[in-house]
Chains A and B, each alone.
Chain A
Amino acid sequence: MSASFADVAIVGVAESELGYVPHLSAVELMAQAAHRALANAGLSLKEVDGLFAATAQFQMPAIAAAEQLGISPRYLDSSVQGGTSNVSHVRHAIGAIRAGLCEVALVVYGSNQRSELKRTGTRPMGAKAPPLETPYSPRFPASSYALIAQRHMAQYGTTRKQLAEVAISASRWAELNSVAFRRKPLTHEEVLASPVVSSPLRVLDCCLITDGGGALVLTSSDRARRTVEKPIFVAGTGEITEHEGVIAMRDLTVTGAARTGKQAFEASSFEPKDIDVVQIYDAFTINPIVVLEDLGFCEKGEGGTFVEDGKTGPGGRFPLNTSGGGLSYSHPGMFGIFTVIETVRQLRRECGARQVVGARIGLAHAIGGTMSTHCTLILAA
């Protein structure tokens, strides 16, 4: 199967410097990633006529990014949906390109939350707990995901050890990624000995707090074929929001991924068995477990068993979060864009030691808020 029907493709991807980057501001991290992604695409800034930007750190990110880059795009989008924001931008860019509202779309993200936390003692956040939760002082958003994990464990017998498998697998991939933040593989003992943040979630079940930016360049498939050797086609997409706070989540064990996966698979004509490599936003270890079920890679309730025995790690049968994910590679806040960057690199076969052999079709899935918004992309070489 091919995705020759897809009319929009990704032609450039890049990260900024990652980790602890105290010398760059959030918008400069966006700019650095943007310059690198355009170089990666072989396009110049003056060809960019659509700009899509997100960050939790300032209002009107597309305007700030445009001035920083010195461009005046004719299509602007600063929509923010938490961790799905930039993946949502890919969908919006497809619409804009199809409608002729722009030809070359630049999607950017940047945050220096680690530096800000170190400098000010406070981490910049785009969201806070809903008003009926705040009087009880939960850890936000960790406690919301902890409630999901606890329910999944009670309902389906998912174990504490299975949660740890997700963190360990991510750290083993990160060992193979030279720009990853945590490059030493974790052990079960280390995960289970880390302090409880919000039970059953421990520190090592939670994503990193890093600085960093990312960028994507998209254009029509026709132009993409003239621009780069290996365009990566967007074969199918899905997007949904189902609630804001977990108080309004109908079933803590079923996420919006059940619907976005269906949308994306139907649009692409691919099925779960066709996917060679998967990235799922792993803000917390429970997330890939539940979302793998909802996307149809295993039955509901079997996500914990599915990730056991190193199956999702290097050399495993189901390569998941091959960058090392938000748990071990990088997590500058809204991680969604990094699921797309890694998928594109895998499909271009650029991943060196962590390359998934024969990867042709990949899935990137982002989560925003407290399991609130979901966005799925199916990409094909």
Chain B
Amino acid sequence: MNKNAPPPEASGQLLDEYWDSIRRGRFVVSECESCKHRFLPPRRWCPNCAAGNVRWFDSEGSGELYSFTEIPSASPQTPSSVVGLATLDDLSEGSRFYGSVVDIAPAAVLVGMRVRVQIRPFADGGMLPVLVPVGKEAG
């Protein structure tokens, strides 16, 4: 079991709602109903306008790899030895998605490449949103 895996049961905490949504195959980000700011990590109060009416928004997950790093010592239980930050078309400026970059050799990863967030199952039974190079998406 990956000791860093998200909690299996929803508890009403905002991040548990996020992971629960991921388990159901929906990649979501926070959206403020007042100012339409869309962001990660999820928050109950909008970091742009302070309004309290933040809801979940189903994101297409399409975007561009903003930066990445390869961690040679990464545990084999993690989805990939490469972790990246992606600028998503659905997120407001300055907010990004953080996650493993999969289905590509580490040496082939490039800043600026088109990527898409996909939810993938992993060996321990957990589901994680990860970054897949465009053209390699499954399903």
Contact = CB atoms under 8 A, between A and B. Distances in A.
The answer to whether A and B belong to the same complex is yes
A198 B85 contact: no
A103 to B, nearest CB: 40
A199 B40 contact: no
Given A154-B112, A248-B41, A136 B67 contact: no
A252 B85 contact: yes
B69 A198 contact: yes
A250 B66 CA distance: 11
B69 A137 contact: no
A247 B77 CA distance: 22
Contact of A137 (B4, B94, B111): B4
B5 A196 contact: no
Contact of A147 (B75, B78, B85): B85
A195 interface: yes
Contacts of A252: 66-67, 85
Given A151-B66, A154-B112, A135 B128 contact: yes
Interface of B: 2, 4-6, 15, 40-41, 66-75, 77-79, 83-85, 93-100, 106, 111-112, 126, 128
Interface of A: 130-139, 143, 146-148, 150-151, 154-155, 195-201, 245-248, 250-252
A132 B40 contact: yes
A240 B41 CA distance: 21
Nearest to B4: A134
A137 B130 CA distance: 13
Most buried by A among B5, B83, B112, B128: B83
Given A137-B4, A147-B67, A147-B68, A248 B73 contact: no
Contacts of B126: 135
B15 A138 contact: no
Contacts of A146: 69
Contacts of A139: 71, 73
Q: Which A-B residue pairs are the 8 nearest by beta carbons?
A: A154-B111, A250-B94, A146-B69, A151-B67, A199-B70, A137-B78, A147-B67, A134-B4
